[in-house]
Chain A
Amino acid sequence: MLELALKGSKKYYGWMTLLLGVIGGGFVFYLWQFNFGLGITGMSRDVSWGFYIAQFTFLVGVAASAVMVVLPYYLHDYKAFGRITILGEFLAVASVTMCILFIFVDLGQPMRVVNVILYPTPNSVLFWDMIVLNGYLFLNIIVGWKVLEAERNGIAPPAWVKPLIYLSIPWAVSIHTVTAFLYCGLPGRGFWLTAILAPRFLASAFAAGPAFLILLCLLIRKLTKFDPGKEQIQSLAKIVTYGILMNVFFLVCEVFVVFYSQIPEHMDHMKYLFFGLHGHGVLVPWMWTSVGLMLLAIILLVNPITRQNESVLAVACLAVFAGTWIDKGLGMISGGFVPSPLHHVNEYVPTIPEIIITLGVYATGFLVLTALFKIAVSIKEEIAA
């Protein structure tokens, strides 16, 4: 089936070449970082994780959200999603690929990465994160591939795939839970030290992931002969609606606890993010934009008239995606580091090289995504023809 990814229109080749160009650019800058060290990024002694880890966190959510198409189809026998489960699974593959790359480019000594396997350390959450991420990647590659192959040949997928599909459901929840545990188990970081962090991560994931999938579906309908389906898109839209409502609700819970208890170690991070602290507040406009986008999305999604209009829905999905991206990809990580445990306010802003490397990783993800979607869509077209 791989050959399907190699044959395509001019547009397809153009897009892939563009992505390869961005990847190349990112790679050149990565070589620089590899030579010089992480000093070319904006990270510091106080903010020791930055953009890379934030993107990783956000994308784990996008990956986990595949469960939102797999679960209704396989557990509730919601037939309509049969058409698009493959898209969800392949989106997960591309996202996890990016996650692993983001962790990799964040390492100070990438050549030693196998030490995590050579000296397995079960008390470290990062050890478990490595296991669940790689496991999830393989599950989705195998399941997606086998089901698609069977579909192409007009037969039922082999029986051994079923248990893997069921396994992938709790596994999806686990990847984002374990990723939240990276942060929420750390004693001195009040911003993350909350039991609601994993639920919050999942809620924003179940909003952002399906929102992105809707946008991809609309795009596929435009560009190819395969129509993912109106009903499918509307069902996804309802999932996005519940997801974003829950995400904002959890945020409200967080804000209440933090500001009613007035415990400084917890409150100061929120203050920094939304109002600025001791005269520092690069993220303030971003955070309010994020809140604004999420509220706008809620208005557009809750109202059935606007939700059912696909152009408005596209706007709402963009708002959800951008809003949750700012929240997690910008605020969540550096917000936890500012102020520092010694209560110094050292801000973090990513540098240009850091952003170019980040774009390179995203381009790699989109390359994988495009190739996989191309295969899936070609087969769907083949079957329809």
Chain B
Amino acid sequence: MKRSRRSFLKIAGISALGIGSKPILNAFSASAPQGDTPQPAVMRKPEALTAKHWAMVIDTTKFKSRDDFKPIIEACHSIHNVPELKNKNHEIKWIWEEGYKHAFPTLENPYFEEKVKDLPFLVLCNHCENPPCVRACPTKATFKRESDGIVLMDFHRCIGCRFCMAACPYGARSFNFRDPRPFIKEEKINLKFPRRTKGVVEKCNFCAERLAVGQLPACVEAANGAIIFGDLADPDSDVRKLVSTNYTIRRKLSLGTSPSVYYIV
């Protein structure tokens, strides 16, 4: 439904603008949903993993040291062709490490030992249930997939206005300040995932492309059980059980974004 509405708007927009010649418009109207002809549906591979509400639980007690994060970050960044830019201003990151006081600035406790304040946490896009980035985007390049709650991006539609970056309260988004391609190591390029162009925003996508072929997110695979992923809407799922029996925290709950990433502390 969502999809057909999107494509309908697209067609309506193009025809309203009168772009394209008549044959092209005819081709469009031939494929547009009409009356009771069956509507095109998204074909799912039989092995695809599906859920009503994908969520992630990060069990911070299972991480011994900072070194445990490295393979996880590396797995995500190499699979997604995330470039390594030396200039900190232009940095692109999907999943990274923050000290406790930065990851949870509103939960600071002045009596924590310095060690605790700097305790490292993995942070990433929270795939908020009520995402401000989606609300802000003027082109629907950032959207929430209604079927499973993942907040996704269309790199080809993004105009690079960066409104979504201002809107995200978790600093989860990066902008391609320059062409990222020269900064992806040749031997690491993953041809199965798109590389980005300059001038668009990007962020973690909960490995939607891997879920579609029956694989768990790359960080989950690399975390040796410290990151658990599943359907929060399913009462029997691991994530649901963990969230209901453990004390978990989420980032900046008071903002009403309702993150789908939970931390066991």
Among B214-265, those with CB < 8 Å from A are 252, 255-257
**A189 is contacted by which of B6, B91, B160, B166 (Cβ under 8 Å)?**
B166
Cα distance A52–B161 in the bound complex, in angstroms: 12
Q: Are A37 and B17 in contact (CB under 8 A)?
A: no
Q: Are B9 and A120 in contact (CB under 8 A)?
A: yes
Interface membership of B175, Cβ < 8 A: yes
Among A31-48, those with CB < 8 Å from B are 36-39, 42-46, 48
Q: Which residues of B contact A108 (CB under 8 A)?
A: 158-162, 175-176, 198-201
Cα distance A49–B102 in the bound complex, in angstroms: 21
Interface membership of B71, Cβ < 8 A: no
Among B1-49, those with CB < 8 Å from A are 6, 9-10, 13-14, 17
Which partner residue on chain B sits nearest A124 by CB separation?
B138
Interface string of A100-111 (1 = CB under 8 A from B): 000100111110
Q: Are A107 and B9 in contact (CB under 8 A)?
A: no
Cα distance A344–B162 in the bound complex, in angstroms: 19
Q: Are A186 and B167 in contact (CB under 8 A)?
A: yes
**A107 is contacted by which of B17, B135, B160 (Cβ under 8 Å)?**
B160
Q: Are A187 and B255 in contact (CB under 8 A)?
A: yes
Cα distance A123–B161 in the bound complex, in angstroms: 15
Q: Which residues of A contact B101 (CB under 8 A)?
A: 343
Interface membership of A121, Cβ < 8 A: yes
Q: Are B171 and A45 in contact (CB under 8 A)?
A: yes
Interface string of B104-115 (1 = CB under 8 A from A): 011000000000
Q: Are B166 and A112 in contact (CB under 8 A)?
A: no
Q: Which residues of B contact A346 (CB under 8 A)?
A: 88-89
Q: Are B105 and A343 in contact (CB under 8 A)?
A: yes
Interface membership of B204, Cβ < 8 A: no
Q: Are A342 and B170 in contact (CB under 8 A)?
A: yes
Interface membership of A130, Cβ < 8 A: yes
Q: Which residues of A contact B60 (CB under 8 A)?
A: none
Interface string of A113-145 (1 = CB under 8 A from B): 111111111011111001000000000000000
Q: Which residues of A contact B167 (CB under 8 A)?
A: 186-188
Interface membership of A216, Cβ < 8 A: no
User: Assuming A108-B176, A341-B169, is B132 touching A186 (CB within 8 A)?
Assistant: yes
Cα distance A123–B2 in the bound complex, in angstroms: 16
Interface membership of B79, Cβ < 8 A: no
Cα distance A42–B177 in the bound complex, in angstroms: 10
Q: Are A188 and B255 in contact (CB under 8 A)?
A: yes
Q: How far is the CB of B214 from chain A (nearest CB, A)?
A: 31
**A119 is contacted by which of B9, B89, B166, B252 (Cβ under 8 Å)?**
B9
Q: Are A37 and B178 in contact (CB under 8 A)?
A: yes
Among A146-189, those with CB < 8 Å from B are 182-183, 186-189
Cα distance A112–B155 in the bound complex, in angstroms: 11
Cα distance A48–B133 in the bound complex, in angstroms: 14
Interface membership of A265, Cβ < 8 A: yes
Q: Which residues of B contact A121 (CB under 8 A)?
A: 137-140
Q: Which residues of B contact A115 (CB under 8 A)?
A: 139, 141, 157, 159
Interface membership of B211, Cβ < 8 A: no
Q: Are B199 and A107 in contact (CB under 8 A)?
A: yes
Q: Are A340 and B171 in contact (CB under 8 A)?
A: yes
Interface string of B78-116 (1 = CB under 8 A from A): 000000000111111000001001110110000000000
Q: How far is the CB of A158 from chain B (nearest CB, A)?
A: 29
Interface centre among A106, A117, A186 (most CB of B within 10 A): A186
**B140 is contacted by which of A39, A106, A112, A119 (Cβ under 8 Å)?**
A119
Cα distance A114–B256 in the bound complex, in angstroms: 32
Interface membership of B205, Cβ < 8 A: no
Among A57-109, those with CB < 8 Å from B are 103, 106-109
Q: How far is the CB of A367 from chain B (nearest CB, A)?
A: 26
Q: Are A124 and B135 in contact (CB under 8 A)?
A: yes
Which partner residue on chain A sits nearest B103 by CB separation?
A342
Q: Which residues of B contact A265 (CB under 8 A)?
A: 105-106
User: Assuming A37-B178, A115-B139, is B199 touching A342 (CB within 8 A)?
Assistant: no
Q: Are B174 and A119 in contact (CB under 8 A)?
A: no
**B165 is contacted by which of A48, A106, A114, A119 (Cβ under 8 Å)?**
A48
Interface membership of B63, Cβ < 8 A: no
**A118 is contacted by which of B14, B89, B175 (Cβ under 8 Å)?**
B14
Which partner residue on chain B sits nearest A126 by CB separation?
B138
Interface membership of B179, Cβ < 8 A: yes
User: Assuming A107-B159, A109-B199, is B169 touching A188 (CB within 8 A)?
Assistant: yes
Among B165-208, those with CB < 8 Å from A are 165-171, 174-179, 197-201
Cα distance A112–B201 in the bound complex, in angstroms: 14
Interface string of A182-204 (1 = CB under 8 A from B): 11001111000000000000000
Cα distance A107–B98 in the bound complex, in angstroms: 29
Cα distance A344–B99 in the bound complex, in angstroms: 11
Q: How far is the CB of A249 from chain B (nearest CB, A)?
A: 27
Cα distance A320–B177 in the bound complex, in angstroms: 35
Cα distance A182–B177 in the bound complex, in angstroms: 22
Cα distance A70–B91 in the bound complex, in angstroms: 48
Which partner residue on chain A sits nearest B123 by CB separation?
A342
**B90 is contacted by which of A44, A109, A120, A126 (Cβ under 8 Å)?**
A44
Q: B residues within 8 Å of A by Cβ?
A: 6, 9-10, 13-14, 17, 87-92, 98, 101-103, 105-106, 123, 132, 135-141, 157-163, 165-171, 174-179, 197-201, 252, 255-257
**Listed A/B pairs (21) with beta-carbon separation below 8 Å:** A36-B178, A37-B179, A38-B178, A39-B177, A39-B198, A44-B89, A48-B162, A108-B176, A108-B199, A108-B200, A108-B201, A117-B17, A119-B157, A121-B138, A126-B161, A186-B136, A188-B252, A340-B171, A341-B170, A341-B171, A342-B123
Top 6 A-B pairs, shortest CB-CB distance: A108-B160, A188-B169, A108-B199, A44-B89, A39-B177, A37-B198
Q: A residues within 8 Å of B by Cβ?
A: 36-39, 42-46, 48-49, 103, 106-110, 112-121, 123-127, 130, 182-183, 186-189, 264-265, 336-337, 340-344, 346
